[in-house]
Structure 1
């Protein structure tokens, strides 16, 4: 009996040694999973975490906004707020002239072919005019009619009630990516293109109040600039501004040599009518960027594709005149510089993220769904410091199960992958990080070829 116990004990010891050796070999093959990625932090705050808890507008902004809205006495404000929100969310890009011409030509050819199949003598001139009318009628019925939004004071107040809190939450969440991953970044100047109510100024001030010495807010709408200034002064024209050194302009600075540490544009590119003008605007903003360029749009298919147009332009096209020769590199959210793999899905789905926030009125939190893009003049700071490869980004909420976590990732190789993370296979560090991560965070994991499945569609 004693001999059996001794043999069993030796067998267990050998099995434990084999298990430990196996784990060490696996970790050595994938060094990203064996690092103490926590850097002394709890798993809930590992280096890849960039999500934020439910955000609220600063108390000064909240008080000023409510005062402005109450004094404006806009009729049917709740209905108009909902209508504007739905309009902005469902807004599409204007149809390009070339696309419109192609569609008109296709319709015209189809109608001529249909008319030719009918017997009888028909006056071609009369037939041509009828076909032309039918083409115009069909285009008016089926083509999206894009119209620019012109903000007067009343519409600006409606926008304040409907979109300011959500816009602030999205911008602050995106800026947190820079703050978290590049803690040494201390911007002294900021340019906000399409500044609207000044939410970027408030969001950036929450992170870099001690270093920001100049904030230039550019918006073509004079009434919106006035409302933004009233918010800064707490709706009291005689009071000092809560944030100093904020300057309002209706046009971008003329000199192409003037640069800012941080350049932003939130929900503005979608207000530019065509791809050529959007591309020109993006290049202008990039010329004025000395460190980071942040672009934010609605988390819709249209908003995401607008950002991908900007990304492709800055990564693939060259300007005629270069004042700053440092090329663009993608800082976030992509872990690579290849074509967005979500655009290759059938049907294509947007790459978007969620941020909880408290609205101006009410006690129930809401969700802001947004897409963002951050480009940098320098490689990511983690790559400069230790040559580390970019981590994967969670593109959906991880699903924690018993002793494993389902993670859907956008990986450094430009692929979307479904990885089942376990402590045995990926190390307990990565497993605990996965359980404590949320949609949009980076996961300290570079999937191996054999431990994942390709994501075929967004519903998997």
Structure 2
């Protein structure tokens, strides 16, 4: 008799989950269970039996596999009902119904399960295979016990857990890199040092009031529709095609058309017709990238569309630097492609007491004028809400001028070519004294821009003689290796999310907004060794008594780990359950822990 390998994992994993859900909630640990009760005539509640049938149907497994499983386990399981009617057959013939007074049915008793000498409690799911059943199962499924595994007889030991673990496919394991009890101290698990997610962000009151005033004073028609159109366009925007790639596509299309049209006559008219067909086909398969010219009207629409999202994304990046390095107090900041100046507002909200100079660089004079009006409360004259903010249309020329924090938020996508982006990134890195923060939209194009800039800095192609210190990744990657997302069979962008309260500009908003972005924080100094913890790259999937976490690990690999309190400890399990997308998890990948010693 053979058990289908594809059905082993789902069925046995479910049995373990059901066993733990029913039994372990009444006892402190596996050793505390009343093993003496797990004999012939144990009781299963009908609700759990229904859950078993529903789960098997949802898994899509053939019912015959489950029948073989329980046939090998024997007839040591009964299902108890609240009525004393005669026995009733289930769809699975290995079970039988019996009333409370039927032979073999056990009566639920009071609390005290799991303690020697205590009263026996109702354990809704209690069964244990005999030694003969274990041997038959191992032989039927071509499995062998692990070395050192002790198979207990029917009445005692931890045979069920060892039997189930031998049949179930093991999941990736993890172990704590540091003592979590020492790291946490008196802090609760929901505040472990890897928690980096901000609550809902909100614009400062002065900035929100100034933006609302500018929108109300504007005479632009259909402002809401223009905002929605610009938002959709910016989100769907792709990278411009490089000239070399464009020429290669044109050559391939020309070759295909020549083969389709047959031998050319060589006349000028035929060649002109061929070139026209190539251009027409090239327009259909090539993304038409267009440079945006921000005049006064488009700048105001951009402010209404992107002010909240840019503030939320940059606040999240600054919060991570402040949380991990609380002693870092920057004094100067450079914002390349400053736009409406939301980066300066976010930096002031984070390090307002230490920053002494803000330099905002943008080539659009209308955008700089709008950012200055926002600083002055929406008017052309007045006192600036943030002191020492300077506006320029060009970067400082002197190579000796450096800034503690350099930011380029949603600016690289406005450059027309790879050469222009590389030149700008190299210049910004030479201007960086401590941190370079790059933020782009949470799309494939945005992630591609971020990764290209990251590789350019890490490869050290541009080493300034005035500052030869190499670059290191501070966040979000826990390593300086190649991004594992780009080498996966299915390339997905590495993005993160930050929620915010949208500013009401006169049209209807529903709930809160969510900004999805891709970012990298590059540092002149290597991050502390204790900070090289895995990063949660997807939302945490919380299930009863276990948590699914998708991690980017310090070894440059992506891991899917399942944490439970029994296998990984209470502290690590609760830290994983309290973590969110984008947080760090204080754990390191390690070999599987030693097996449970026999009693």
Name the TM-score class by shorter chain: 0.7 to 0.9
2:431: which partner in 1? 288
Is 1:262 aligned to 2:408, yes or no?
Answer: no
Query: Where does structure 1 lack aligned partners over 5 or more consecutive residues?
Result: 16-26, 452-460
Return the structure number with greater relative CO, CA threshold 8 A, min gap 6: 1
SS in 1 for 2:235: helix
Q: 1:279 to 1:449 in 2, by over 3 A?
A: farther
Structure-1 separation of matches of 2:187 and 2:583: 16
CA distance in 1 between partners of 2:357 and 2:398 (Å) = 17
Counterpart among 336, 346, 368 of residue 515 in structure 2: 368
Match for 1:240 among 364, 371, 383? Answer: 383
Residue pair 1:33, 1:429 contacting (<8 A) in 2 also: no
Give CA deviations for 1:296-347 in whole Å, capped at 9, x if unaligned.
Answer: 0000000010000000101114226432011000000001112211122333
Higher Cα Rg: structure 1 or 2? 2
SS for the counterpart of 2:437 is strand
Aligned 8 A contact 1:50 1:177 in 2: yes
Q: Work out whether 1:252 is the aligned partner of 2:390.
A: no
Equivalent of residue 280 in structure 2, options 124, 128, 137:
137
Structure 1 residues 28, 342: CA separation in 2 closer, same or farther (over 3 Å shift)?
closer
Q: Distance in 2 between matches of 1:226 and 1:249?
A: 11
Higher helix share: 1
What is residue 400 of structure 1 aligned with on the other side? 542
Equivalent in the alignment of 1:300: 443
- Normalised by the length of structure 1, the TM-score is 0.88
Q: 3-state SS of the aligned residue for 1:297?
A: strand
SS in structure 1 at match of 2:486:
helix
What are structure 2's unaligned runs of at least 5 residues? Answer: 1-35, 37-114, 118-156, 159-172, 594-599
Q: Is the 8 A contact 1:188 1:261 kept in 2?
A: yes
Partner of 1:43: 189
Mapped contact 1:358–1:366 kept (Cα < 8 A): yes
Alignment deviations for residues 245-287 of structure 1 (CA, whole Å, 9 cap, x no partner): 0000011011111000000010000000111110110010010
- Partner residue, 1:65: 211
Distance in 2 of aligned mates of 1:358 and 1:154: 25
| Residue range with higher mean Cα deviation, 123-132 or 56-65 | 123-132
Please give the alpha-carbon distance, in whole angstroms, between the structure 2 residues aligned to 1:28 and 1:419.
Answer: 7
Does structure 1 retain, via aligned residues, the 8 Å contact 2:175–2:588?
no
Equivalence map 1:144-223=2 (5 Å): 144-223=287-366
CA distance in 2, matches of 1:219, 1:212: 20
TM-superposed CA distance for 1:123, in Å, is 3.5
Distance change in 2, residues 1:210/1:131 (3 Å): same
SS at match of 1:443: coil
**Residues 213-250 of structure 1: per-residue CA shift (max 9 Å, x gap):** 00000011111111111111111333211100000001
- Closer, same or farther: CA 323–169 of 1 in aligned 2, 3 Å: same
Aligned-pair CA distance for 1:126: 3.8
Paired residues in the alignment total: 428
Tell me by how many angstroms 1:450 deviates: 5.3
Matching of residue 310 in structure 1 with residue 457 in structure 2: no
Matched residues in 2 for 1:209 and 1:31: separation?
35
Distance 1:285 1:28, change over 3 A: closer
- Cα 1:39–1:145 shift into 2, 3 Å: farther
Q: Check the 8 A contact 1:33/1:427 in 2, yes or no.
A: no
CA-CA distance at 1:70 after TM superposition = 0.6
CA distance in 1, matches of 2:592, 2:256: 51
Shift of 1:9: 6.2
Q: Does 1:413 align with 2:413?
A: no
Give the Å deviation of 1:136.
Answer: 0.9
Moved more, 353-362 or 64-73: 353-362
Instruction: Give 1:227's aligned residue.
Output: 370
